[in-house]
Chains A and B, each alone.
Chain A
Amino acid sequence: MNAGVVIARFALRECVRRRVFLIVGVLTLAFLALYGLGTWQVYRTIDEFGTGLAGVEPPTVAGATLVGLAMFATLFLGAVLAVFLTLGVVRGDAERGLLQPVLVRPISRATLLVARFAAAAAVSGAYVAAVALATMILTWAIGGWWPDRVITPLLGLALGVAIIAALSLAGSVALAATANGIAIFMLFGAGLTAGLLGQVGEALSSDTLQDVARVASWALPFEALYQVGLSQLTADTVGFTRLAIDLGPFGGAESASPLLWVWAIVYLALVGAAAFAGFRRRDL
Chain B
Amino acid sequence: MGGQPALAVRGLHKCYGSIAALGGVDLEVGEGELVGLLGPNGAGKSTLVKIACGLVRPSAGTATVRGARAGSADAQRSLGYLAELFRFPDWCTADELLALHQQLAGSDGGAAERRDLLARVGLAEVAAQRVGTMSKGMQQRLGLAQALIGDPRLLLLDEPTSALDPAGRRDVRALLEGLRERGVAVLLNSHLLSEVELVCDRVAIIARGELVAAGTPAQLAHAGGVEVETAAGPRVFAQARREDVPRIVRELVAAGDDVYGVRVLTSTLEDAYLEAVDGAGPAVDA
Contact = CB atoms under 8 A, between A and B. Distances in A.
B105 A106 contact: yes
Given A96-B87, A98-B87, A104-B81, A284 B104 contact: no
A14 B143 CA distance: 19
Interface residues on B, range: 20 to 34
Interface residues on A, range: 20 to 34
Contacts of B92: 13-14, 17
Interface stretch (B33-41, B51-59, B252-260): B51-59
B87 A105 contact: no
Given A10-B100, A98-B88, A98-B89, A104 B79 contact: yes
A104 B92 CA distance: 20
Contact of A284 (B16, B50, B143): B50
Given A104-B54, A284-B55, A14 B89 contact: yes
Contact of B53 (A17, A97, A104): A104
A100 B57 contact: no
Nearest to A98: B87
Tell me if B's interface is mostly helix, strand, loop or mixed. Answer: mixed
Given A96-B87, A97-B83, A283 B76 contact: no
Contact of B87 (A14, A97, A281): A97
B55 A103 contact: yes
B76 A106 contact: yes
Interface string A71-102: 00000000000000000000000001110111
Taking each of B53, B55, B101, which has the highest tally of chain A beta carbons within 10 Å of its own beta carbon?
Answer: B55
A93 to B, nearest CB: 9
Interface string B35-77: 0000000000000001001111100000000000000011011
Nearest to A15: B91
Given A96-B87, A98-B89, A3 B56 contact: no
Taking each of A18, A98, A101, A102, which has the highest tally of chain B beta carbons within 10 Å of its own beta carbon?
Answer: A101
B103 interface: yes
B79 to A, nearest CB: 7
A106 B80 CA distance: 11
B19 interface: no
Contacts of B81: 100-101, 104
Contacts of B86: 97-98, 100-101
A119 B25 CA distance: 41
Contacts of B189: none
B235 to A, nearest CB: 54
Contact of A105 (B56, B57, B83, B101): B101
A92 to B, nearest CB: 12
Given A14-B89, A98-B88, A106 B50 contact: no
B190 interface: no
Interface string B13-42: 000100000000000000000000000000
A3 B85 CA distance: 24
Interface string B105-140: 110000000000000000000000000000000000
B57 A283 contact: yes
A24 interface: no
Interface of B: 16, 50, 53-57, 73-74, 76-77, 79-81, 83, 85-89, 91-92, 100-101, 103-106, 143, 146
22 contacts: A6-B103, A6-B104, A14-B89, A14-B92, A17-B91, A96-B87, A97-B83, A97-B87, A100-B81, A100-B83, A101-B88, A103-B54, A104-B53, A104-B54, A104-B80, A105-B101, A105-B104, A105-B105, A106-B77, A106-B105, A108-B73, A284-B50
Given A97-B83, A104-B53, 8 more contacts: A6-B100, A6-B103, A13-B92, A96-B87, A101-B81, A101-B143, A101-B146, A283-B50
